[in-house]
Structure 1
């Protein structure tokens, strides 16, 4: 399960950096790489959101 926690943390980090770039430079790296509204983009955003939720829940459980 440790690898899952590391993967979730990596995805949350990617999401945080992407939001930082959006806020500072209006640059969305995820949509630049995978395209706006593409299936890959939607899956990646969903995984990032679920990872954040999972880390939040696991933090309060421990």
Structure 2
């Protein structure tokens, strides 16, 4: 069992919310983040960069916790 840091837990929540946002964009063609930010492209870009950093952290978590193992026995 791998111990999750506070940032790992935060990353999971942010990536989950980011994926829900993209799902809403795909289904309803409404960007909720743009509405919440008042249409500010700078703030919107910073939020998307935060989601990217959190996604990279979750990808690294897969390797840090050995979630994916490669069977080399043949």
TM-score, normalised relative to structure 2: 0.74
1:9 to 6, 9, 12: 12
Per-residue CA deviation, residues 20-42 of structure 1 (Å, 9 max, x unaligned), is: 001100011101110141x2211
- d(CA) in 2 for partners of 1:27, 1:10: 21
SS in 1 for 2:30: coil
Structure 2 unaligned blocks of 5 or more: 66-74
Larger radius of gyration: 2
Count of matched residue positions in the alignment of Structure 1 and Structure 2: 61
Structure 1 unaligned blocks of 5 or more: none
